[in-house]
Amino acid sequence: MQSFDEVVAEFLSRPKLMLHQPKWQQKAHPDFAAAGAKVVVSGSNAIVGRLVMTAHVLRVPRKYGFALIFRGKRVFALDVNPGRSHRNLLTKGAVSETHWQCWPAMEAEADGRDLMFAGWLNCFLLRARISGRFPIKPPPHRGQGVQLRLFNGD
Amino acid sequence: MAIELDATDIEQAVRSLVTVEQTNFGVEVSLPVVYGDGEMVTVVVERAGGELLVHDGGFSAMRLVAAGVALSKGVGARLDEFAHRYRCTFADGRVTALRASDDLPLTVCLVANAARAVGDYVYELRRQADFDFRGAVFDKLREIVGDRIRESEEFRGKSGRLWRVPIILDPARAHPLSFVAPLANRSGVPQGFAMLYDLGRAYPNVERDVVYDETSDLRDEDRALLSSAEARVFGLMETQVRFREIAGVA
C-alpha cells in the first residue's frame, strides 16, 4: 500500500483538470475574498483535490494565497506578499516575502518576483499542473478607501 | 560543548521576533506567536472613531480558508468560542479584541493568541476529509451506475433505529440493490459496523458494501470487523471493478 506522502507525490506530479469556474466570494468574511474549484487527475476521476484562492481586499501590497488541497491537507501553496514572516522549522531561517510550499516538508521557498494576480495565478497553475478552460477574474480590492480612512486624521 | 544560557541573549533573540510596520491597514505587529507550520502571527492596531481597534485583519480566517475550511455558521460559532477564551470575538472572519484601550500591549498579545487558536482549527479537518471522500465515492459511482445512485435514503434497521445511507438501486430503480458505506478513516468504523449490522438484519437481501480510503489509518482488524457484518470491504481504487460487478454493468 502507498504511504500518504507517496499518494500526494503522485497527485502533485500528474496533470489535473479544473472542473468548474472559481468565483470570488466574501460574504462570510468581508476582509478577504475566496474562490475555489474542484480539480481531478486527468484520466482518474477518483483522485480529487481542490484549488483554493484567497485575496485580502484591503491590504496593500496585495496579499494573495493559492493552495491545492488533497484529502483535507494543504499540499501545495503559494503565498504572495504574506505580510508576515514564515519560520522554516526544518531548514531554519525566515522568509518574509512571497513564497512557495510543497508537501511533505512545507518549508517556505522564497520567490522575489513582483507579478500581478494573473501572473501569479498562471505560475501556480503551471507548477501545480492544473489546466482548465475557465477564465478566472482578478479578486476584488478596495485598499485605497481604507488608506483614506486611516490617514484623514480621525 | 555546553551551550551558555544567557538570559540577556535569549531575551534579545525573542524580542527580535517582534516587528512593527505601518501599512495602509494600520499598524501591523508581528509577535513571537507562531502557527504550527512556522508562520508568525500578525495583529493590526488601528484607530477607528476615536478608539483603538485591535484585530487580526482576517488573516487567521484567511489561513483557514486557504487550508480548505469552509467558514459555515457552525464553524464561525466554534471559532468565536476559541476567541472568547482570550477576551476576543470572532465575527465576519475577523478576530477582534473586546476592549483595546485599557492595556494595549496585553490586548495585542491576547488577539495574537486568539488568532493562533482560530488558526489551529485547521487541525480539526477530519469532517472535511470525510466529506471529500464521500464526494469522491459518489462521483465514481455515478460514473458507473448513473442515476441509480441515491446519496442519502432513510431505512429503519432491525433495532428500530433510522439510518441515512447511500444506496444503489436495482436496474428497475424500484428496490435497493446495495447499501454503500464510504469510510474515510478509522473513526467511522464503529458507526459503519452498527449501521450495516442493523440494516443487514432488516434487509437480508440487500447487499452491503464498504468503500474505504486506502490512504487512511484503517487496519486489517477494522476490515475484518466490517466484513463480519456480511459486508464487502474494498478500497477506492477497486471501486470501478467492484461496482461494475455489483451493479451488473458491463
pLDDT digits (tens, 9 = 90+) for A106-143: 999 999 999 999 999 999 999 999 998 899 999 999 86
Q: In A6-142, at which residue ranges do the beta strands (DSSP E only) sit?
A: 16-18, 32-41, 44-56, 64-70, 73-80, 86-87, 94-95, 99-102, 109-110, 130-131
pLDDT at B184: 85
One domain, residues B115 and B156: no
Q: For residue B216, what is the DSSP state?
A: S
One domain, residues B111 and B206: no
Q: For residue B225, what is the DSSP state?
A: H
Cβ atoms of residues B35 and B41 within 8 Å: yes
Structural domain includes residue B5:
no
One domain, residues B171 and B111: no
Cβ atoms of residues A35 and A22 within 8 Å: yes
Higher pLDDT, B154 or B246: B154
Domain boundary among B80, B98, B124: B124
Domain boundary among B124, B151, B172: B124
One domain, residues B174 and B233: yes
One domain, residues B203 and B116: no
Characterise B103 by phi-psi region: left (phi > 0), alpha (psi -120 to 50), beta (else).
Answer: beta
Q: The complex's ipTM?
A: 0.87
What pLDDT digit, counting tens, does each position of A50-88 carry?
Answer: 899 999 999 999 999 999 998 778 999 999 999 888 888
One domain, residues B46 and B106: yes
Does the beta carbon of A142 lie under 8 angstroms from any beta carbon of chain B? Answer: no
Least Cα distance to B83 among B105, B104, B56, B51 occurs for B56
One domain, residues B116 and B179: no
Selecting from B34, B47, B132 the residue whose C-beta is nearest the C-beta of A154 gives B47
Query: Which residues in A lie closer than 8 A to residue B42 (C-beta atoms)?
Result: 83-84
Crossing angle of helices B104-119 and B73-84, in 10° steps, is: 140
Residue of B30, B55, B62 for testing the chain A interface, max A β-carbons within 10 Å: B62
Structural domain includes residue B243:
yes
Q: Residue B247: pLDDT band by 50, 70, 90 thresholds?
A: confident
Chain A, 2 to 21: residues with Cβ < 8 Å from chain B are 2-4, 7
Least Cα distance to B60 among B90, B88, B38, B81 occurs for B90
One domain, residues B132 and B232: yes
What pLDDT digit, counting tens, does each position of B214-225 carry?
Answer: 766 677 889 999
Q: Is B234's pLDDT higher than 80?
A: yes
Selecting from A32, A72, A82 the residue whose C-beta is nearest the C-beta of B132 gives A72
Which residue in B has a C-alpha nearest to residue A47's C-alpha?
B136
Range of the domain at B159: 127-247
Q: For residue B39, what is the DSSP state?
A: B
- Residues B150-171 as b/e (b if ≥16 CB within 10 A, e otherwise) read eeeeebebeeeeebebbbbbee
Q: Torsions phi, psi of A67, nearest 5?
A: -145, 150
Q: Residue A103: pLDDT band by 50, 70, 90 thresholds?
A: very high
Structural domain includes residue B7:
no
One domain, residues B97 and B132: no
One domain, residues B240 and B133: yes
Least Cα distance to A95 among B74, B174, B39, B118 occurs for B39
Structural domain includes residue B209:
yes
pLDDT at A143: 67
A14-28, A44-58, A135-149, B63-77: which has the minimum mean pLDDT? A135-149
Domain boundary among B66, B98, B124: B124
Q: Count CB atoms within 10 A of the CB of residue B175.
A: 11
CA distance A28 to chain B (A): 6
CB atoms B139 and A48 under 8 Å: yes
Question: Mean pLDDT, chain A, as a whole number?
Answer: 87
Q: Is B74's pLDDT higher than 90?
A: no
One domain, residues B134 and B242: yes
Residues 6+ apart with CB under 8 A from A26: A32, A33, A34, A57, A140
pLDDT at A153: 40
Q: Count CB atoms within 10 A of the CB of residue B92.
A: 16
One domain, residues B25 and B84: yes
Q: How many domains does chain B have?
A: 2
Read off the pLDDT of each residue in B229-240 and give the average, rounded to a whole number: 86
What pLDDT digit, counting tens, does each position of B175-201 carry?
Answer: 999 999 999 888 889 999 999 999 999
